[in-house]
Structure 1
């Protein structure tokens, strides 16, 4: 029985579109992209809260082979990322292969027919020779089980389900969470709300944001001479590499650089917040890089406003008209905004149930045998599966670095598969173990294990205390290995 499609791609964000572009390049053009949302774009479709913007310079937050010379700012607003995603879908003829409002329940390897059977929530099944999961790293919103939240009589809104017509003017609002989303959102809510209380569990490192409009003349130059934009991309990539690779991943060898980044963030805080006690409570007590830092010129300043208050006592319960903290204080509110982030390790790896060869459940296997994936993309016992958001896959700070490295790995793997005249591949257990040992050893020099991360509560760490998200190598290394990994690390076969 031949499968319905050459490949099934789960997710229509930038990762899924990158995978689809590579499938077209290697000649696997009969594929379908399944997306649970109503449109493409992934996080840039789901998120549209006030203040949303990319937190990586726009010039590198894009495919290197499809640069966008039209960014309005150095850090583009979210709407422009959504527009760029639509442009990519149209340019590479992807939209006609997409199915929206399609929820995938799971996928199972059919050993008899050597293909994947993908089950949809509406009862339909789809078969594909290859399965590519591109469900994103931050795709499963998390709401902590606050006692009493079901009794709250006011408005509750999660940042991933923002209502554009919701007016905050005159509201007594609370924001729970102080991660990267809240850093963007707090200043915007403060402009309209009559009172705003920010509930902070863990402070975040914030450094100055060198942001400004990109002059029309520069945009015209980028359009007419793409090499100039490539040069700007190279410079920005180098700066991020210094911050991430040297200061974070090589913490033991470059503590001074790490401490310097922390000192810059503290100076930024001192310059922007007048009240000493507020500054103290906004200061992290973990090393820079233990959790992802962010950029902002407005977040700290919001706490100077008389109607904005920082609350650091733990939440005891939520009541009908407010939030009571452990010290007995009650903050009366009528609007509760949840900027509580995402659940990575419990439900995101993987985001759907995946059953491989011999009935092995990927999620269960990862949790019982450590989170792992060869070169951050394939797993033993899971033939013809390319898991694009996997442990040890995230390279650098721009998601596109990861996407393009994985596209190169896909291209090399499929071309070798076709050269051999085969149709199935599976990474060997030995190759996978060797890669896991290598990245684990390299992470020993990182801030995650060499620094003080005890109070960070970082999503970089899984439930076993392992920092299994980031690939601990340079961008250059990730891309070099994507086109030079040993081809015999895979076992190849022919479908019956």
Structure 2
């Protein structure tokens, strides 16, 4: 006897409105799917570029590459745009593509559960609402949950504390004694800015990063006019940037000897910017292979460390007291505020309780087996759930926006396959996902990212669950088409017609249950 499946509230629910979520929404709209909703926990779009407002926040990929290929911006003011300009770009995209009617602000998703009987996802929102959707696209981004240091006594500190991604603009740093914990990508941007304001800055470094000169400059009015009037010139400019960035993979995962020239350039950068303090130069010079951690760019970080009111502390922190920080060598430094420049919990989806087939919870699965997905997009056992910038689709050498666009196109192809096969859902086959991840890990094992250093690329088992191991154009080619044999496509009996994702007439679904186009084991 046939069960009765209800029509979903929406064909597609997108979680998040950063580059990933907005890119997916735009591509859906362009493809003719207008029955989608974007759930955003905040009161404005932007994701990372809305939340990170710390002084000096900027992209470390050239602006013309760190933007949608279908929406070039000829008016970037700098080679490396700062946060306000990137955030404004995203808001313009929302308005240009008429996305605001699709966005539900202050709608934090707390859980997603797949209802196998109806073939729908039930998406729970913090305010108590439950939306049903045929497809869920998670555009959470890998860098949105702050990572806090595990230091004894942090909870008893009586001064002001905040993470760089939750910057307290109401706190006046002028003349204060400030401790900064961490020397990663965020810290090297805000430390030079606040060093000019604070009375004393103690910068606690665990491991020095490799830092290259920053080839930043103002885009001239002439360049901007040319890009505006001759779009193909900007396209060529973007392409040149792409291939220049893409060449980095040759050293990272083809021949690690190629990074030696970059290491030499970085050491010369240190020598030029810290000419009179050999002890400080030694302290900021890494001893691991360049690229093992994310390579950073800055022209003002090293000079900031030479200021008389800045102290670089390389002794580990033993504890935090009510008004001070005590290091392993017993030195106590009194401070008024502590700023965490400690990055993010990469790929953390613990805030979402995602439940797939058989009641399997994604967080439990990933805790047991490590984060895994097919192409960083589809997860075995979680039908019609697609992730953007999922496991092993991040980058250490090029623009993540390029990967987001490739993944959004892949998701569209999956949705078209659902329509063509009149299937209620599709799920990547476990063997396909397993084989993909085995290939990825074999390639990563030969890379600079497995050179022995500790980095946020690695999980607690030392496995790189973050980065794509090769050229981005190979990923682009791999995601151009969906291999139907990689998926089980499933129909279920229903008295309710199955509406196609991309509009048109409803597709009738027959009685019984079957696999459509399933690959062989």
Q: TM-score range by the shorter chain?
A: over 0.9
Equivalences for 1:293-372 in 2 at 5 Å?
293-344=295-346, 348-349=348-349, 351-372=351-372
Indicate which of 159, 169, 175 corresponds to 1:154.
159
Q: What is the CA distance between 1:418 and its match in structure 2?
A: 1.6
Asked if structure 2 preserves the Cα contact closer than 8 Å seen for 1:2 and 1:113, the reply is no
* 2:252 corresponding residue in structure 1: 248
Equivalences for 1:177-196 in 2 at 5 Å?
177-196=182-201
* 1:59 corresponding residue in structure 2: 64
Q: What is the CA distance between 1:28 and its match in structure 2?
A: 2.5
Q: What is the CA distance between 1:423 and its match in structure 2?
A: 3.2
- TM-score normalized by the length of structure 2: 0.91
d(CA) in 2 for partners of 1:374 and 1:459? 21
In the alignment, structure 1 residue 476 sits paired with structure 2 residue 473 = yes
* 2:490 corresponding residue in structure 1: 493
Asked if structure 2 preserves the Cα contact closer than 8 Å seen for 1:207 and 1:265, the reply is yes
* 1:257 corresponding residue in structure 2: 258
d(CA) in 2 for partners of 1:255 and 1:144? 31
d(CA) in 2 for partners of 1:199 and 1:334? 15
* 2:272 corresponding residue in structure 1: 271
d(CA) in 2 for partners of 1:416 and 1:144? 45
Name whichever of 126-135 and 365-374 sits farther off.
Answer: 365-374
In the alignment, structure 1 residue 213 sits paired with structure 2 residue 213 = no
Asked if structure 1 preserves the Cα contact closer than 8 Å seen for 2:256 and 2:447, the reply is no
After superposition, the C-alpha distances for 1:14-57 in whole angstroms (9 at most, x for unaligned) are 10011112222333311111111221000110011111111111
* 2:128 corresponding residue in structure 1: 123
The SS at the match of 2:186 is helix
Indicate which of 136, 140, 146 corresponds to 1:141.
146
Q: What is the CA distance between 1:100 and its match in structure 2?
A: 1.6
d(CA) in 2 for partners of 1:448 and 1:294? 15
- Alignment gaps of 5+ in structure 1: none
The SS at the match of 1:198 is strand
Q: What is the CA distance between 1:380 and its match in structure 2?
A: 1.1
Greater Cα radius of gyration, structure 1 or 2: 2
Asked if structure 1 preserves the Cα contact closer than 8 Å seen for 2:110 and 2:351, the reply is no
After superposition, the C-alpha distances for 1:197-243 in whole angstroms (9 at most, x for unaligned) are 10111111100000110001101111111111111111111111111
d(CA) in 2 for partners of 1:339 and 1:437? 33
The SS at the match of 1:180 is coil
d(CA) in 1 for partners of 2:92 and 2:435? 40
* 2:407 corresponding residue in structure 1: 406
- Alignment gaps of 5+ in structure 2: 1-5, 495-521
d(CA) in 1 for partners of 2:239 and 2:194? 35
In the alignment, structure 1 residue 290 sits paired with structure 2 residue 292 = yes
Indicate which of 28, 32, 37 corresponds to 1:27.
32
Task: Report the number of matched residues.
Answer: 486
- TM-score normalized by the length of structure 1: 0.95
* 1:442 corresponding residue in structure 2: 443
Q: How well do the aligned residues superpose, as a CA RMSD in angstroms?
A: 1.5
In the alignment, structure 1 residue 377 sits paired with structure 2 residue 374 = no
d(CA) in 1 for partners of 2:205 and 2:239? 36
Indicate which of 16, 19, 24 corresponds to 1:11.
16
The SS at the match of 2:252 is helix
After superposition, the C-alpha distances for 1:279-310 in whole angstroms (9 at most, x for unaligned) are 11111121111111110000011111111110
Distance 1:350 1:156, change over 3 A: closer
d(CA) in 2 for partners of 1:323 and 1:444? 38
Q: What is the CA distance between 1:351 and its match in structure 2?
A: 4.8
Asked if structure 1 preserves the Cα contact closer than 8 Å seen for 2:372 and 2:379, the reply is yes
* 1:391 corresponding residue in structure 2: 391
Q: What is the CA distance between 1:143 and its match in structure 2?
A: 1.3
